Amino acid sequence: MKHLSLARILCAVLGVALIAPSVHAQSVPRTIEPGQLTIAFTGDMPGTGYQDGSMIGYDGEILQRVANTLKLKVKPALMEWSGTIASVQTGRVDVMAGTMGWTEQRAKIMTLSDPIHYFKNGIMQSSKTDWSTLKELEGRKVGTITGFSFIPELRKIKGLQLSQYDTSDAAVRDLLAGRIDAVIGDPPVVQYAISRNPQWKLRFNAFTDNNPEFPLLTGLGQVVFGLSKDNPELAAAVNAEIAKLWQKCELKKIGERYGLVQDVWYMPVGQNFRAGVDRPADWRLPSCR
């Protein structure tokens, strides 16, 4: 009887040992290439970059932490902004990053992560001007980046002449050359670029409007990652890492490395557009003081 009991115990132990690796393997979300996390990004700092085998930038560091937690190797896929969303939809990448703002339209075609920080759009302009309202853009030559969600709203501004660019660099070059009067771009990218280049003599003013007819331009923005709707497990893993960073206020520490130090990046002020859309009706925006 003792021998039989011992045999049963050994079988049970061996069974657990054999099953455990399989369970662990199943806990790692499926990715396009096994063992790798393929990330589409634009390379616009302070959001994303790639250096010495790791993602850098505010968005980039967060995704690098996701990869490290899941024990995946990052596979970078550098591309222009206009191609990042399509790369997720067509299954060429696992996730896209690039200071992308949440919109209801994007939520219909991708799974959007929880926010990694907040923002308000505004006007990149010469230090000789001090515009901060939609009305002050009337009749102006304004540049923005192809594919930005607020482009239809810009077209509604009276007399505004819109130029679209593939990159932020191209838009800034035309602004410095005087070919356009202002640029409406990613606030983190704009502020980072201005802080690194004081010789440009440019400034960024957030919109002071709070106009419901221009919700994307004047409302509260949430920066998110985009993932395939066919991979909810990966989205859950990304959100779990984001939640940990909010809870420990680690996002603020990451932001300090890239000039995102003001509370506006981490304290939501304004309407929560996602509740009842791609989140439960009682879902609350995370914050960090």
Residue 71 has what pLDDT? 98
Q: How many CB atoms lie within 10 A of CB 200?
A: 15
SS3 content of the chain, % helix, strand, coil (to 5): 40, 20, 40
Q: Cα torsion at 226, 119, 194, 148 (round to 10°)?
A: 50
Place of tokens 């515009």: 131
Tokens of 144: 């923005």
Tokens of 185: 């771009």
Which carries the bigger pLDDT value, residue 172 or residue 7? 172
pLDDT one-digit tens code per residue, 181-193:
999 998 988 988 9
Tens of pLDDT, residues 152-161: 999 999 999 9
Cα 24 from Cα 28, distance rounded (Å):
7
Residues ≥6 apart with Cβ < 8 Å to 44:
81, 98, 99, 167, 168, 186, 189
Tell me what pLDDT residue 269 has.
82
Answer for the pair 141, 180: CB distance below 8 angstroms, yes or no: yes
Alpha-carbon span 141 to 261, nearest angstrom: 31
pLDDT tier, 129 (very low <50, low <70, confident <90, very high otherwise): very high
Flag whether pLDDT at 138 surpasses 90.
yes
Q: Where are the beta strands (DSSP E) in the chain?
A: 36-41, 49-51, 54-56, 73-78, 95-101, 111-112, 117-119, 122-126, 141-145, 161-165, 182-183, 202-206, 221-227
Dihedral over Cα of 225, 230, 236, 241: its sign: negative
Is residue 225 within 8 A of residue 266, CB to CB? The reply is no
- Scored b (16 or more CB within 10 A) or e, 114-130 reads bbbbbbbbbbbbbeeee
The full set of domains in the chain, from first to last, is 36-118+221-265 (3.40.190.10), 121-218 (3.40.190.10)
pLDDT digits (tens, 9 = 90+) for 194-222: 989 999 999 999 999 989 999 999 998 99
Rounded CA separation 84/249 (Å) = 28
Beta-strand ranges (E) seen in 106-265 are 111-112, 117-119, 122-126, 141-145, 161-165, 182-183, 202-206, 221-227
**CA end-to-end span of the chain:** 64
Helix axes 187-196, 168-177, angle to 10 degrees: 60
Question: Which tens digits make up the pLDDT trace of 55-104?
Answer: 999 999 999 999 999 999 999 999 998 899 999 999 999 999 988 999 99
